Structure 1
Amino acid sequence: MPIIKSAKKRVKITKKRTLRNRANKSALRTAIKRFERAVAEGDLEKAKVELVKAQSTIDKSVKKGIIHKNNAARKKSRLARMFNQLAANA
């Protein structure tokens, strides 16, 4: 445990930020899973709504520094490709 006052403060701040980042990352994963579930069910309308939500969540995660912008671009690209394949097959 830290002894210096500023170090104690940094520990508190780190805990707070860790919890916030964990919640945001969990929300990101959940949004992506909901979209993937809609695609697996073959529901085009639901998938379209979930795709928009997932992409929005990804963008927010980048803005908050949860994930890197290239990681976000890759995720969004893969989700869009999944949606386009579903749309082509429907």
Structure 2
Amino acid sequence: MANTPQARKRIRRNDRRAEVNTARMSRIRSFVKKVESACEAGNKDEAAAALKAAQPEMARGVARGVMHKNTVARKMSRLTKRVAAL
């Protein structure tokens, strides 16, 4: 258990950050799922629009430090390839 005031503050701060980061990751996953479901349905226009909305969200995840840069680059590449294949 934390004994110093600084350690107590860090615990409070870490809990707040974890909550924010969880919400961000959930939001990103929702955008990605919209692209994937449109691809599975075979709807190219809807998939392209969903991809265009998902890309800035994923980039924002990198900027905020929630996701790694290479992970997002890989996911964007794969999603773009799937949409283009429709």
Q: Same fold (TM over 0.5)?
A: yes
Tell me the equivalent position of 2:56. 56
Residue 45 of structure 1 and its aligned partner are, at CA, apart by 1.3
Tell me the equivalent position of 2:12. 12
Structure 1 residues 26-66: Cα deviation after superposition (integer angstroms, max 9, x where no partner): 11111101100011111111111100111111101000001
**Count of paired positions:** 86
Give me the whole-angstrom Cα distance separating, in 2, the residues matched to 1:19 and 1:43: 34
Tell me the equivalent position of 1:31. 31
RMSD: 0.7
Residue 10 of structure 1 and its aligned partner are, at CA, apart by 0.2
Tell me the equivalent position of 1:78. 78
Query: What 5-or-longer segments of structure 2 have no aligned partner?
Result: none
Query: What 5-or-longer segments of structure 1 have no aligned partner?
Result: none
Give me the whole-angstrom Cα distance separating, in 2, the residues matched to 1:34 and 1:47: 8
TM-score with structure 2 setting the length = 0.96
Give me the whole-angstrom Cα distance separating, in 1, the residues matched to 2:29 and 2:17: 18
Identity, % of aligned positions: 34
Could you say what secondary structure the match of 1:67 adopts?
A: coil
